[in-house]
Structure 1
Amino acid sequence: MEQQRAAHSTEAVVGMVAQTFLRDRHQFVGELSQLMRTQLPVLDRDERLRELMEAGTTDNLMEILQFLQNEAGEDDVRAPERALAYARILAQRDVPAAALIRAYRVGQAGFLDTGMRYAIEFGGGGPVTTSAIVHIVNRTSVYIDRVCEQVGVAYEDERDRWSGNRSGLQRQWVTRLLDGTVTDTDAAEQYLRYPLSRGHLGIRAWTGPQLDPATAATVFDQLRTALTTVFGRAHATLVVPVDDHEIRMWLAWPAGTAVDSGAIARALTARGVPVRVAIGGYGTGLAGFRRTAAQAGRVRRLALLGGDHGARVLAHADVAAVALLAGDIEALREFVADQLGELAVDNERNLWLRETLRVFLAVNRSYAAAATRLAVHRNTVQYRVRQALDMIGPHADVPGGDLYPRLALQATELLGTAVLRPEPDRN
């Protein structure tokens, strides 16, 4: 009730505005980030960029709320470290600097629009409200101008560093190979020191943002060693950074090389290598080089949609259909709901039922084999399968009729809450 009464001073109104932003910060940051991505699609390439954007936006919000309420001068403004890190990542990925600065201006407009509405609500109109709005606009403008200068410098410095080393030049060659603008493949092979005419296995790998660049580089070297242990020595390896925490990799392998994602995951775990890996299918020649890269990219998107708790290693051969379906996550969510019915509701009981049914169908409807794999009694499998089928409907309980339910179950295993329906609020 106190906030419904008009405040009697500019300082009080500004304090109430800041407190309200702080209270609702998660919702505000989510909505503001969505607005920036909508207006600037180049910033909406994948889940990693979205997470980095929201982290920087959150830190900027916290800093600007402090700046509104203190007497710090213009020279005291410092861009948050995560905002600077986001600028460097955009530079490494060739996202234009203009898009970054435009995002700050969109964010500034969104912050001021909301802040002025709060000021009118808490100030009750009149001179106090006007004074509070003027204060918020002026301090916000000072903060954003200074931060834009600092992230702009960070962007340009990183762009110069990144494009001037061999990795940057490699990336330019690879980009042209993938988009079809390279006409002299012999020159590309010579510069990249990689045989484009052989068979290839494309890989995307990434680490968490908490690692410093030097540690991330060591992790990627450890990944290459682990892959050699699992597969044997490749004819050649091409590693091209996407940014400080992500790489593209191609391995020149002989035809028929099997990809065992479980063996790779175990090798990485045994060595304590903190990396996630998406593996494309096998391809030959320049067309295969491009195709396996595209497949690895789709698998990577699937892994990112699944969140941090998903599988450490995913291979295209194991998840190809779901990776294609995940290109339209809304349509996939509808597909899962249509196929699984009430089993698509996100709760712990359904989790066990879905997993049991998924394994049961994967082992050709063998209760004994499913019980062994799940480490439960056969009767438990029978009970859970019967419950799950009752929730799905009779179409999944006939030979040949379970293809779509199996795909839907795999999607829920890989993506979890991204494709499940929240449990209804019973209050």
Structure 2
Amino acid sequence: MKTAIPRTQRHVREPMPASAEDTAPAFEWLTAFALRMRSESESEPILSAVDSAIQETFPHYLTDVEVHREVRAATRAHWFGFLAVIGRSQFEARPPAEAVNGARTVARRGYGVDMLLKTYRAAQRGLWRYITQVLHQQIPDPQLRGAVLVIFWEHSTLWLDTCLDGIVAAYMDEREHHTRNSDAQRTEIVQAILRGEPAPPADSPDHLAHSMDNVHVALVLWTDPEVPARYATGLLRDYAAQIARALGAPPPLLISSGVHGLWAWIATSHLPDIAAVAPPPSAHLHLALGTPRPGVAGFRRSHLEACAAQRIATSAQNSGAVTAYQDIDLVCLLTGDGDIESVRALIERELGQLADRSEQGARLRDTVFEFLCAAGNIDAAASRLGVHGNTVRYRLKQAERRLGHPIETRRVHLELALRCLEVYGEQLLPAP
């Protein structure tokens, strides 16, 4: 389909055909309405209704933290921009900077322009549904209500159609620039790997110059919206490079995830200590870390973990500047980021050498499990196992040697891993 997008970024509304006397009460009502709605608390229900309408059309926005955040910022900016002109018979419509940034992020993620347009149409439906209900509740006079509905519909449609010219133009410019950029091919290769396709071999022209055989630490970095988009990428790239140096690694593999976001992978020949990662140099920068994992599977898994950590960091009030998945993995599992592979990873990490498939390993796991179920009572655990209390003590010491730490150090994580193993069986143990 051929796309011809005019680059108009403003439009002066023509006077309505109805007389000023007929429309004056409606404009007065809309002016008073706009004044009330400029309060964040008053506008939140409307913004939430629009957000819900978008999510009904595109549920995956919920799992894409950065795109969802940009879409919400664009919705809010549109609404407050529209409120500033809603009570006027003539007005100028210009796409807010947040909406332009959102379009650029959608382009960088490889989404089609049809998704951008459908998102705006879904938002328009959500707004119209909500406003129709509000007006029926607040305007008992059917004549006034009808006049307000007509003006609101005409103004909102004109606002959207005019702003979309500039928004789609920004999308097309970003898509064209991204296609010409050498980063585009690298992004396509990385996204293919994340989908489960094999990584290009080292002698391939598509090789990423990033060793897939090493241990990988995935990073998801982002800035607050108030950081100008033209500065955000540079700040995030510098911070990612700083982290790589701190972990004794070569420069990271970097992929732009949006105008305020960056995906990165650090490859090391050793198991890095991610606790050594320094906080970002600015309060407006944020970092989510996956756990270090080897090979192509580790490349994917660590990224999924970093994205899960980002979701928690952007939705929790108590999150810090750096959020590591290994510190919040149980929260992630309990709030929607869990799958069978996440459980398998939890078991492998928490049980360590206690996760072997030998008869002795199974016996030690059973002993630790019964000990935990008995709230740390050795006699009760011995009774449940049908052995002497000293046997339980001996096995617990053996188990702690394999774990590398006292049972109490990671009690909750350890018990959860053992409970998952009890349900699923040995299929979740690491391959021998």
Distance in 1 between residues matched to 2:336 and 2:168, nearest whole Å: 33
Matched, 1:41 2:41: no
Question: Aligned letter for 1:166?
Answer: S
Alignment of 1:200-239 (within 5 A): 200-232=216-248, 234-235=249-250, 237-239=252-254
Distance 1:63 1:189, change over 3 A: same
Mapped contact 1:195–1:236 kept (Cα < 8 A): no
| Matched residue, 2:89 | 71
| Matched residue, 2:423 | none
Mapped contact 2:201–2:207 kept (Cα < 8 A): no
Question: Aligned letter for 2:212?
Answer: L
Q: What is the TM-score when the length of structure 2 is the normalising length?
A: 0.65
| Matched residue, 1:15 | 31
Mapped contact 1:219–1:274 kept (Cα < 8 A): no
Q: Aligned-pair distance for 1:83?
A: 1.4
Mapped contact 1:48–1:304 kept (Cα < 8 A): no
Question: Aligned letter for 2:162?
Answer: R
Q: Aligned-pair distance for 1:25?
A: 0.9
Q: Which runs of 5+ in 2 are unaligned?
A: 1-22, 339-406, 417-432
Which stretch of the first structure deviates more once superposed, 89-98 or 187-196?
Answer: 187-196
Alignment of 1:267-416 (within 5 A): 268-269=280-281, 272=282, 274-307=284-317, 310-327=319-336, 403-404=411-412
Matched, 1:257 2:275: no
RMSD: 3.3
Mapped contact 2:65–2:310 kept (Cα < 8 A): no
Name the count of aligned residue pairs.
Answer: 325
| Matched residue, 2:108 | 92
Note the alpha carbon deviations across 1:129-169, whole angstroms, 9 max, x for none: 43332222222221121122221111111111123212222
| Matched residue, 2:76 | 58
Note the alpha carbon deviations across 1:372-413, whole angstroms, 9 max, x for none: xxxxxxxxxxxxxxxxxxxxxxxxxxx9799459999xxxxx
Matched, 1:111 2:120: no
Distance in 2 between residues matched to 1:227 and 1:182, nearest whole Å: 27
Mapped contact 1:194–1:236 kept (Cα < 8 A): no
| Matched residue, 1:31 | 49
Note the alpha carbon deviations across 1:48-81, whole angstroms, 9 max, x for none: 43333232222212222333311325xx311111
Q: Aligned-pair distance for 1:244?
A: 2.7
Mapped contact 2:104–2:174 kept (Cα < 8 A): yes
Q: Which runs of 5+ in 1 are unaligned?
A: 1-6, 330-398, 409-427
Q: Bigger radius of gyration, 1 or 2?
A: 2
Alignment of 1:117-196 (within 5 A): 117-120=133-136, 123-182=139-198, 184-186=200-202, 191-196=207-212
Note the alpha carbon deviations across 1:250-292, whole angstroms, 9 max, x for none: 22212333221xx3235x45xx585322222222222222222
| Matched residue, 2:262 | 247
Mapped contact 2:256–2:263 kept (Cα < 8 A): yes
Distance in 2 between residues matched to 1:175 and 1:287, nearest whole Å: 14
Identity percentage of aligned residues: 19
| Matched residue, 2:345 | none
Mapped contact 2:213–2:295 kept (Cα < 8 A): yes
Distance in 2 between residues matched to 1:40 and 1:176, nearest whole Å: 21
Q: What is the TM-score when the length of structure 1 is the normalising length?
A: 0.66
Mapped contact 1:322–1:407 kept (Cα < 8 A): no
Mapped contact 2:26–2:144 kept (Cα < 8 A): yes
Distance 1:186 1:102, change over 3 A: same
Mapped contact 1:13–1:119 kept (Cα < 8 A): no
Mapped contact 1:204–1:248 kept (Cα < 8 A): yes
Distance 1:317 1:67, change over 3 A: closer
Distance in 1 between residues matched to 2:260 and 2:268, nearest whole Å: 25
Distance in 2 between residues matched to 1:159 and 1:42, nearest whole Å: 21
Task: Indicate the SS of the match to 2:55.
Answer: helix
Question: Aligned letter for 1:86?
Answer: G
Mapped contact 1:59–1:82 kept (Cα < 8 A): yes
Distance 1:9 1:120, change over 3 A: farther
Q: Aligned-pair distance for 1:172?
A: 0.5
Task: Indicate the SS of the match to 1:181.
Answer: coil
Distance in 1 between residues matched to 2:43 and 2:102, nearest whole Å: 20
Question: Aligned letter for 2:226?
Answer: Q
Distance 1:320 1:61, change over 3 A: closer
Distance in 2 between residues matched to 1:39 and 1:170, nearest whole Å: 30
Q: Aligned-pair distance for 1:29?
A: 0.9
Distance 1:210 1:404, change over 3 A: same
